[in-house]
């Protein structure tokens, strides 16, 4: 497939899937997206800006990615389009657990290309939990941290393995996100779990996830960590088990 066809395909796909986002990609922008894995779009939805800034920070190596085969670029384009759609989530705060996990999977697919398949993700989620509700973008930031603070920062780390496990515990849902990265000290864990409202600046970072969960569901829910320095970190994210309808009434 020629770059012209690929660019036209991504323009059509984005405009078709996000008609309300104000997407105004032209040919040059679409091709930049394809060869640099950057979302060079102009959109009115504030959530798009988070995605745009995030991708611009993560993929500076345009020259290397420009040499990608057309088949690889097509895969990147599909994963980016899906990542984009799930991130926007039609402007809604709630998403199904199944789609939230898929959001992480397409994110990791993009990172696999960036890190030459050195990032590995294992997902364990019972089928019956996939239709239940959770807040949008509460898993991906933990996976992002695992990648960036491991293989992304340390030259001695050549692989990154992450597992996500979802289980129902009574009336609650527990997400477990485990990595084999550098781990944290006790002080770092305490700082990560400390919720300082003055530090909350909006967006979808790890601190904001704790704040959003407690705000929507109550103080008994949120995030805690276990970590062994040099071996890895596990994040436990607890939310109530609710259908989409029940969750919508809860956060109204």
pLDDT of 81: 74
So what's the pLDDT on residue 244?
95
Give the side-chain half-sphere CA count within 13 A for 82. Answer: 18
Instruction: Say what the pLDDT of residue 49 is.
Output: 46
* Closest to 25 measured CA to CA, from 84, 71, 74: 84
pLDDT of residue 7: 53
**pLDDT score at 206:** 78
Per residue of the chain (252 residues), give pLDDT as tens: 444 555 555 556 655 655 554 455 554 555 445 443 333 333 334 444 444 444 445 444 444 444 555 566 667 777 777 887 788 777 788 999 999 999 999 999 888 877 888 899 999 999 999 999 999 999 999 999 889 888 877 777 778 999 999 999 999 999 999 999 888 888 888 887 776 544 544 445 677 898 899 989 999 999 999 999 988 999 999 999 999 999 999 887
Specify burial of residue 158 (Cβ count, 10 A radius: 0-12, 13-18, 19+): exposed
Vertex 236 angle, CA 232 and 241, to 5°: 155
The pTM score is: 0.72
The Cα–Cα gap between 27 and 78 comes to 17
Distance CA(93)–CA(81), nearest Å, equals 19
pLDDT for 30 equals 52
pLDDT of residue 40: 33
**Ordered structural domains, the chain, with CATH:** 3-91 (no CATH), 115-251 (3.30.565.10)
- The predicted pLDDT at position 151 comes to 83
Q: What does DSSP assign to residue 130?
A: T
Dmax (CA) for the chain in angstroms is 54
Q: Residue 84: which H helix or E strand, with range? A: helix 70-88
């Amino acid at each position: 497939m020629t770059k012209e066809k690929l660019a036209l395909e991504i323009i059509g796909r984005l405009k078709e899937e996000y008609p309300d986002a104000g997407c105004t990609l032209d040919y040059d922008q679409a091709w930049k997206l394809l060869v640099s894995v950057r979302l060079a779009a102009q959109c009115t939805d504030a959530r798009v800006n988070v995605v745009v800034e995030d991708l611009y920070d993560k993929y500076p190596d345009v020259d290397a990615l420009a040499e990608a085969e057309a088949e690889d670029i097509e895969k990147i384009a599909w994963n980016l389009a899906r990542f984009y759609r799930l991130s926007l989530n039609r402007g809604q705060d709630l998403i199904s657990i199944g789609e939230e996990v898929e959001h992480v999977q397409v994110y990791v697919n993009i990172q696999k290309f960036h890190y030459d398949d050195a990032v590995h993700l294992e997902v364990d989620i019972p089928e019956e939990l996939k239709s239940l509700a959770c807040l949008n973008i509460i898993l991906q930031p933990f996976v992002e941290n695992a990648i960036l603070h491991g293989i992304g920062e340390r030259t001695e780390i050549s692989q990154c393995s992450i597992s996500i496990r979802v289980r129902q515990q009574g009336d609650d849902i527990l997400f477990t996100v485990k990595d084999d990265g550098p781990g944290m000290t006790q002080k770092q864990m305490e700082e990560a779990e400390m919720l300082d409202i003055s530090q909350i600046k909006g967006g979808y970072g790890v601190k904001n996830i704790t704040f959003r969960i407690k705000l929507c569901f109550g103080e008994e829910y949120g995030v805690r960590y276990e970590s062994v320095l040099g071996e890895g970190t596990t994040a436990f994210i607890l939310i109530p088990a609710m259908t989409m309808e029940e969750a919508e009434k809860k956060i109204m």
